Copies of this chain bind each other. A is one copy, B any other.
């Protein structure tokens, strides 16, 4: 049984990154801990029903780490949701708003067979902009979003509201 407090102790809090006033939850201190990483993957896995999804979609870049582990654990395939310009074949792109300006994510046009049930994986739910864009990409490609899982949810940013209508699961919650 995974103890959230134990995982939280492995997460380093770095003030003023990436800019002043932001407290960054650094998961690298958890990743390098063998037991911590296993427990984090098992905690994410415990939110998923192997029979209820077909494919995992990992969001670049830290989402790839957990998506890779979960895809291996469940014996499923994996679709990388990438930043623009990284994928070599024809893509679909979805833009999303940042505090200043916009960013975008892409998947290959042929990444998802129609009707495929996809679980989206990322490390942190902040405003939810990237995850929502990933969900729309999957739907535009003909897939169905079976769930969205995060290791960390920053409750105070209310990203969950941005993902209304999708089953969202987070392991660790931070209120500030």
Contact = CB atoms under 8 A, between A and B. Distances in A.
Given A64-B61, A89-B14, A55 B72 contact: no
Contacts of A18: 85, 88
B80 A31 contact: yes
A9 interface: no
A88 B26 contact: yes
A28 B79 contact: yes
Count of chain copies: 2
Given A28-B79, A28-B87, A38-B72, 5 more contacts: A32-B111, A61-B86, A62-B80, A68-B72, A72-B72
A71 interface: yes
B89 A31 contact: no
A176 interface: no
A103 interface: no
Interface in A102-129: 108, 111-112
Interface string A52-64: 0001001011101
